[in-house]
Amino acid sequence: MKLESFVNNSWVAGAAEGRPLVNPTTGAVLATADASGIDVAAGMDHARTVGGAALRGMSFGERGALLRAIADTLSANRDAYEEIARQNSGNTKVDASIDIDGGIGTLKYYSGLARKLGDAHLIAEPGQDQLARDPVFFARHFITSRPGLAVQINAFNFPSWGLWEKIAVATLAGVPSFAKPATATALLSYRMVKDVIEAGTVPEGVLSLVCGNGEALLDGVGPMDSIAFTGSAATGAMIRGHENIQRCGVRLNIEADSVNATIVGPDVKPGTPLFDLAVKEASKALSVKAGQLCTNIRRILVAKENSDEFAQAVAARVQTLAVGDPENPDTRVGPLINQAQQADAKKKMDALSGETRVVATATAPQDAADGSAFVAPTLLLCDDPTAGRFVHETEVFGPCATVMPYDNMEQASQLAARAQGSLALSLFSDEASVQVATLNNLGAWHGRILMVDEAVGKNHTGHSIVMPQCVHGGPGRAGDGEELGGLRGLRLHMQRTAVQGSPGNLEKLAEDACELAL
């Protein structure tokens, strides 16, 4: 099977044989993908002119109805997607649900937001400013859809959620999407888009898909376009430095590497509910999606007097994890997505070995196929994290995390910040002073902070789970990007313009607008 691309309202295959997509449990080749020889530039023009015009002609409410229709189409085919996620991504049922249902849920969430915006076609920010001595000349800010397209470049670990969360925001903003899934796991993205197109759910030009190399997308973007990229810092740097992107001033949002941390506050003692919750959350980092989440916990900071008991509590859970074929309902941890990722994870775990020691490791399947990509969940301990370097800079994209003892909260904050910017931080503490200090000291270093106290308890959504209501992204090394966050996500795809004029003029302009502060 060879995956085709949907460009210029047609399904078309690339000219070359393409890269293989494999089953990471067996090593069997499932499909190939290639985009060489496809006229991507013509497809991008078609999306801007035909798809863009269609979306800008819709109200926010109508765009929301479109998102709901997409979600309904995907829901009707969900069982097929779960099987694809198992075969191509090595997902267990739980892992597949996070990706598939996360994508569908995000589409529904943005559809709901759109209903609240109603029949408006643009946004007027609240309030206006008087610019002259007499009250006859004012300024007000309006936000309109840009006549470009949104290039969506996604990572291999979320072929559903990563695809649809970007498309949902761009569509609501009135901008057509040109999606480029990571080739290794593109089978799910391909099948989902194919189902949506075949159902006649979206107007022509609103949704396009490139399966294979995406270099032509970077060459083809223009000044009204935007790029949302999720992936490695190295690829993000390449995109940021691309000649055409720099020349055109394309809007660019990057979500990259992140060595995220959780802090177990000094008030959280063994035997307390918060201690148990923190142990459970740290254990998830070594099992859910085989550790392949960009928001996953990589470093676990625990007060020195509690660190040994904490490490042993997590170790006890790690040693019970069943690693194996995700088709087996007893399996908790499936394989990484391919042997290249397996080799990369093991190489980086080796790099950590000079600064850490192994506390516990699960048992990898002994009868694994030669082409499989299993990595045994491993808990490490860094006795001297202040002296460590690689433990703060190395993101093992697999089931591996490191416990780090700290002397006081000031040191814990310093250690957390040594990742040079992260997507997510979690704090387990009941102490208000600890919570305040964490926000003041670490807010600037993180895109999201999860604070769990006894009032929240087990009701929190999890360190790694990205919610569409909250911004997703992080400063510094994490790419300095920001996605989602409810309607805040529209800012990437829309233009804020200061309009100066008479009160009557501004009032007239606002008649087709919803009032909203982004």
Residue with tokens 């997308």: 217
> Distance between CA atoms of 243 and 241, rounded to whole angstroms?
6
Q: How far apart are the C-alpha atoms of 355 and 349, rounded to whole Å?
A: 10
Q: For this structure, is 410 an active site residue?
A: no
**Among 165, 281, 294, 514, which one carries the catalytic annotation?**
294
Residue in 157, 193, 191, 160 with CA at minimum distance from that of residue 177: 193
Residue 28 — φ and ψ, nearest 5°?
Answer: -70, 140
Catalytic site residue from 4, 255, 281, 395:
255
Rounded to whole angstroms, how far apart are CA atoms 86 and 26?
A: 11
Task: Please report the sign of the dihedral spanned by the C-alpha atoms of residue 365, residue 370, residue 374, residue 375.
Answer: positive
Using CA atoms, how far apart are residues 337 and 323, in angstroms rounded to an integer?
A: 14
Which residues are CB-contacts of 474 (< 8 A; sequence separation ≥ 6)?
255, 258, 421, 422, 423, 424, 446, 447, 448, 480, 481
Q: Which residues contact 132 (CB under 8 A, 6 or more apart)?
A: none
Q: Which amino acid is located at 267 in the chain?
A: D
Three-state SS for 481? coil
CB-count exposure of residue 127 (10 Å: 0-12, 13-18, 19+): exposed
Q: How many C-alpha atoms does 159 have within 13 Å on its Cβ side?
A: 30
* 255 given a catalytic annotation: yes
Query: Is residue 297 a contact partner of residue 283, using CB atoms and an 8 Å limit?
Result: no
By annotation, the residues acting in catalysis are 255, 294
